[in-house]
Amino acid sequence: MKINTIEDLQSLIDNEVEESTNLEYKSSFAIENKKWKEELAKDVSAMANANGGTVIYGIREKEVSKGHSIASELLPIPYTEMSKDRLSQLLSSNIQPVIDNVEITVISKDENSGFFVVQIPQSNTAHQNRLNHLYYKRRNAVVEEMEDYEIRDVMNRSKHPIIELEFELHKTVTTTIEKPLKIAVMYDHREDKYSTETKYVLKYRLVNKGRVYAKYINFFIHVPLILNPNKEKEPENVDRIKKCLVISGDNTIRDITAINGLSKEYGQARYDPILPGITGCWESFELNFNDVDEATTIPPIWYSVLADNAPERKAIVEWSDIKVIEKTKTITRDLNNTVFNQMLFNQ
C-alpha cells in the first residue's frame, strides 16, 4: 500500500478502510504518555515480526464492531512534536536488531504539521522492544506478545525459503461486429449487430522473497465459489464447506526432448528450483464476475504454500490489492467476406 498524498489519506476515510494485520492508524504519538516510546517500538516491531505493513500517524480510528476499526478523521501532527529524523532515530534506538529498509514518508498538511506514514517490511529475524525486552506480533488488528515457538519461527525465516503468490486480474472487453448478409445491395438497409463480452482471467505466479532457494513447492489457492466460470456444472475442485474453488499447483516443469513436425515430445516432470528474488512463470484460470455487483463485495482470495521444510505460509489477498489490467479488442465478422469468413468464425 502506497500512501503519498493527502488525497491518499482521505480515501482511507472515504472508503472506510479497516485496520488489518498490515495496516494500523494512530491519531498521534501520545507523547503525554510516559511509555509512548515503548508503544512506538511495540507497534513497529510487531509489524516486522508479522507480515510487514503500514502504520499511519495522524489518523483517528473509529470502532465499528468488536475488534474492527476504520479510519474516521485526519489529525495532523505538529512538527514540534515529531520530525522524520527523530522518528527514524527512535525506531533505531528502541528496537533490536534494527529493522532494515523502513520507509518514513512525511505528508505535509501545512508548514507546521503533517502526517507520518511508516512502511515496515517483513523481517527475516525477530525484533525485540529494547525498552521492555519483549517480542510482539500483529494478529489481525491486535498487537500481542509472541509465544516462544513464534519467536523461533520468525528467527528461522532466514533459514527457509519464503514463497508467496503474486496476482493480476486481466479484464478483456471484446466487441463483436456482425455485418448482415447483403441480398440486394441497392435496397438492403439492415444495420450491423454489436455484441460485447467481458472475460476475466486471474493470473498468478510464485515469488521467492527469502534468502534461501526453494526446491520443492506445493500451493493451494482458494477462490470464492461465486466466481466459478462454469455455472452449469460444478467442477471437481470445490470445497463445499468453505464455498470456494481450490486451485493447486507446484513448481514442476517438463522439458522438451524432441520435435516431430508440429508435435513435441516431453520428458518426465521435474522440480524447477526458485532462487531468492526470482519469480516463477505466470499461470492463469478464468473467473466469472457476471453475478457480482462490485468486487469489494466478494470474499477475498486466500492461499497456502508449502516449500521444502519451511512452515506452511498462509495469506489473505483482498481484491483491492490485486492489480487490474484492462484490455479491449474488436472483432468484425462479415458474412459477405467469403475469403476471411471461416477464419473469423474460428476465433
Residue 346 has pLDDT above 50, yes or no: no
Taking CA atoms, 320 is separated from 127, 205, 212, 251, 317, in Å, by 30, 18, 30, 27, 8
Instruction: Name the band, by pLDDT with cuts 50, 70 and 90, for residue 33.
Output: very high
- Whether the link from the prior residue into 180 is cis, omega within 30° of 0, is no
CA distance 273 to 278: 10
Q: What is the pLDDT of residues 291-324, one digit of tens each?
A: 776 666 788 999 999 999 888 888 888 888 888 9
The pTM score is 0.56
pLDDT at 185: 55
Residue 30 has pLDDT above 70, yes or no: yes
Query: Cell 534461501 sits at which residue?
Result: 212
Compute the average pLDDT of residues 267-281.
89
- Which residues in 28-182 belong to E strands, given as ranges? 53-57, 59-65, 68-74, 77-78, 95-96, 103-108, 113-120, 128-129, 134-139, 142-145, 163-179
CA distance 213 to 230: 37
Q: What is the pLDDT of residues 324-345, one digit of tens each?
A: 999 999 988 876 665 554 444 4
Instruction: Name the band, by pLDDT with cuts 50, 70 and 90, for residue 188.
Output: low
Task: Collect contacts of 74-77 with beta carbons under 8 A, ≥24 apart.
Answer: 74/6, 74/9, 74/10, 74/13, 74/109, 74/115, 75/27, 75/28, 76/109, 76/110, 76/113, 76/114, 76/115, 77/28, 77/29, 77/113, 77/114, 77/115, 77/116
- Burial, 285: exposed, middle or buried (Cβ in 10 Å; 0-12, 13-18, 19+)? middle
Q: What is the pLDDT of residues 58-115, one digit of tens each?
A: 999 998 887 788 999 999 999 999 999 999 999 999 999 999 889 999 999 999 999 9
pLDDT at 344: 46
Domains of the chain: 6-159 (3.30.950.30), 163-345 (no CATH)
Residue 141 has pLDDT above 90, yes or no: no
Return the percentage of the chain with pLDDT > 70, whole number.
91
